[in-house]
């Protein structure tokens, strides 16, 4: 204990202040939490690449907006309702185990039963004449792949945004979070490099799901060990350091919903998440549709997604080092503004290439490249850069904003904002695309609608800037009150 206090009094200097601002006595707490996040992100990355390859190759990229709007969003609402009820009846630890084991059971079921029998379980609706009905019914007919897509999407919201970050917020002080949170990402995003290699080399869907099951077991084991042998030590977790205003903690579902939606603070966090989800989805679906033209088979597309994960992992690790120093040296506002700025600049460049591809065609051909190839690379870099900054700064600043809140807003408020808000963001982008394709501009393709979508994209980013400004005012005020 004396050595720990001596370490903290000395602070950091040189390379350690830039790259590794963690005291040696904190490693027993920090490393297991970082490794747990690594396991969660590994599954997230592998599942994301696999679900996209299955859906895009078996149903087409146009099925993604339908899935996000009509399947993922309702599933997220049901999950939030179930989570709220479980939180009222069971301890936080029990809820963590139940949620993780639910996902593990599904991945095992998909590998052993659903995927092997998918041809018998699939209903063909491709012959339906109405474009609107066909776009709705194809995901229903291919419910095996649709269910895998939905559960994989929920993994990101439930395990990354809710389970891990709620646990981290409960056992990390605001002061410590400025050093820990981006460093969690620095360690954890090494998983993107490994997941990209897995997607690139492992062609067997059964094996991918078996790996996901194994990592679920790792997550449960690490969580148990932390609670049993680490957080019982006051050197690593002192509840008095994490100020929690006392509020009623056993609200009914209806009371919880009213309590959450009456919070201006949570409203700004939700707006951040929704704007991110909508903006990234507007670019990503169009880009994946173009990428499918270059990589038409399931194996080729999954290998391409593996390359994406490797690029994203490498870039994220670099941005984690930069982001950690931005978090510690700059204000919360400056740190939170980096992600929307990066998304805006790279997104507009991508849309310009799509909109003016005919004009660019002679110039590109003169260099020996194809316009489609250039668009694919521009979309790749847009995705890599925006997600790298998101993982390093957006997630850290968002999670820091939860720390001063009371238990009810941290638990059910976080569930509503992260799970439903995250899915609503992606579903919002899907709803925009669905309406444009099936109601307003029937018969058009996403590429033809690029000028309209780019304007909507710019408007969403302006709303994102406003949300950062509003949350900064609330966070600064509440943090000052908490510290006092």
Query: Is 4 domain-assigned?
Result: no
Answer with the residue of higher pLDDT: 101 or 178.
101
| 8 A C-beta contact, residue 420 and residue 80 | yes
Sign of torsion, CA 444 450 455 456?
positive
- Whether residue 424 is predicted with pLDDT greater than 80 in this model: the reply is no
Residue 246: the pLDDT is 47
Sign of the dihedral defined by the CA atoms of residues 319, 281, 165, 211, in that order: negative
pLDDT at 14: 63
pLDDT at 16: 67
Report, in this order, helix, strand and coil percent for the chain, each rounded to 5: 85, 0, 15
Q: How many domains does the chain have?
A: 1
Report whether pLDDT(395) > 70. Answer: yes
Provide Rg for the chain, Cα atoms: 22
Q: Which residue has the higher pLDDT, 6 or 102?
A: 102
Lowest mean pLDDT among 86-95, 105-114, 299-308: 299-308
Q: Tell whether the torsion through CA atoms of 53, 55, 58 and 63 is positive or negative.
A: negative
User: 122 is written with which tokens?
Assistant: 């699939």
Query: Is there a domain that residue 366 lies in?
Result: yes
Convert the pLDDT of each residue in 306-344 to its tens digit: 778 788 878 877 887 787 788 878 888 999 999 999 999
Flag whether pLDDT at 87 surpasses 70.
Answer: yes
Sequence-ordered list of residues with C-beta below 8 angstroms from that of 179, at least 6 positions apart, any chain: 21, 22, 324, 328
* Euclidean distance between CA atoms 98 and 102, whole angstroms: 6
Distance CA 478, CA 312 (A): 34
Q: Over 80: is that where the pLDDT of 2 sits?
A: no
Work out the average pLDDT over 185-201. 78
d(CA 191, CA 46): 10
Separation CA 299–CA 58 (nearest Å): 12
Is the pLDDT confidence value at 260 over 80? no
d(CA 31, CA 20): 12
**Residue 302 placed within a domain:** yes
Q: Return the pLDDT at 9.
A: 43
pLDDT of residue 11: 58
Please check whether residue 472 lies inside any domain of the structure: yes
* pLDDT score, position 373: 82
Within-domain flag for 243 = no
Average pLDDT over residues 368-380: 83
Residue 224's domain comprises 27-238+250-483
Residue 163's CATH number = 1.20.1250.20
366 or 156, higher pLDDT: 156
d(CA 59, CA 290) in angstroms, rounded, equals: 15
DSSP state of 449: T
> Of 190, 256, 200, 201, whose CA–CA distance to 39 is shortest?
190
Among 5-14, 70-79, 268-277, 386-395, the minimum mean pLDDT is found in: 5-14
Model pLDDT, residue 249: 47
Q: How far apart are CA 454 and CA 457, in angstroms?
A: 5
Residue that has been written with the tokens 């998101």 in this structure: 390
Task: Read off the pLDDT of residues 50-73 as tens digits, 9 standing for 90 and up.
Answer: 888 888 778 876 687 788 878 888
Segment of 33-42, 155-164, 389-398, 445-454 carrying the highest mean pLDDT: 33-42
Report if residue 120 sits inside a domain: yes
Give, as one character, the DSSP assignment of residue 96. Answer: H
Query: 240 near 71, Cβ under 8 Å?
Result: no
Min mean pLDDT across 210-219, 321-330, 362-371 is at: 362-371
> What does the pLDDT look like over 7-44, one tens digit per residue?
554 556 666 666 778 888 888 999 999 999 999 989 99
Residue 2 in domain: no
Structure tokens that stand for 4 in this block: 């720990």
- Show the tokens assigned to 227: 């609670």
How far apart (Å, rounded) are the C-alpha atoms in residues 250 and 344? 41
| 8 compared with 211, residue with greater pLDDT | 211
Return the pLDDT at 387: 86
């Amino acid at each position: 204990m004396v050595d720990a206090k001596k370490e903290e009094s000395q602070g950091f200097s040189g390379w350690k202040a830039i790259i590794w601002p963690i005291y040696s006595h904190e490693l027993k707490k920090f490393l297991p939490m970082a490794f747990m996040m690594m396991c969660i992100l590994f599954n997230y990355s592998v599942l994301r690449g696999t679900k996209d390859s299955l859906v895009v190759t078996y149903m087409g990229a146009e099925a993604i907006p339908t899935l996000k709007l009509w399947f993922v969003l309702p599933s997220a609402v049901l999950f939030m309702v179930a989570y709220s009820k479980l939180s009222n009846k069971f301890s936080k630890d029990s809820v963590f185990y139940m949620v993780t084991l639910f996902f593990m059971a599904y991945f095992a079921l998909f590998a052993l039963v659903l995927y092997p029998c998918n041809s018998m379980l699939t209903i063909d609706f491709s012959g339906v004449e109405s474009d609107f009905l066909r776009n709705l019914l194809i995901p229903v007919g291919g419910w095996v792949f649709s269910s895998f897509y939905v559960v994989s999407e929920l993994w990101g919201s439930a395990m990354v945004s809710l389970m891990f970050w709620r646990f981290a917020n409960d056992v990390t002080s605001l002061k410590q979070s400025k050093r820990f949170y981006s460093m969690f990402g620095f360690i954890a995003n090494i998983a993107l490099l490994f997941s990209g290699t897995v997607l690139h080399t492992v062609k067997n869907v059964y094996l991918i799901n078996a790996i996901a099951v194994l990592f679920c077991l790792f997550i449960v084991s690490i969580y148990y060990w932390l609670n049993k042998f680490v957080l019982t030590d006051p050197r690593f977790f002192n509840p008095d350091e994490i100020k929690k205003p006392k509020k009623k903690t056993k609200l009914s579902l209806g009371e919880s919903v009213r309590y959450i939606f009456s919070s201006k603070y949570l409203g700004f966090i939700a707006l951040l998440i929704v704007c991110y989800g909508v903006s990234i989805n507007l670019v990503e679906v169009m880009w994946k549709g173009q990428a499918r033209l270059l990589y038409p088979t399931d194996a080729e597309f999954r290998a391409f997604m593996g390359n994406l994960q490797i690029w994203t992992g490498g870039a994220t690790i670099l941005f984690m080092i930069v982001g950690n120093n931005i978090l510690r040296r700059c204000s919360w506002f400056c740190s939170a503004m980096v992600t929307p700025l990066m998304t805006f600049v790279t997104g507009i460049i991508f849309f310009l290439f799509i909109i003016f591809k005919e004009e660019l065609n002679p110039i590109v051909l003169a260099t020996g490249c194809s316009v489609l190839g250039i668009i694919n690379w521009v979309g790749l870099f847009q995705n890599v850069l925006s997600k790298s900054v998101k993982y390093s700064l957006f997630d850290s600043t968002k999670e820091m904003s939860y720390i001063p809140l009371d238990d009810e807003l941290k638990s059910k408020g976080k569930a509503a904002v992260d799970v439903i808000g995250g899915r609503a963001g992606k579903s919002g982008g899907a709803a925009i695309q669905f309406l444009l394709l099936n109601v307003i501009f029937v018969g058009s393709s996403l590429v033809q609608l690029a000028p309209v979508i780019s304007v909507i994209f710019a408007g969403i980013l302006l709303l994102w800037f406003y949300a950062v400004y509003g949350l900064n005012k609330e966070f600064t005020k509440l943090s000052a009150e908490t510290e006092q």
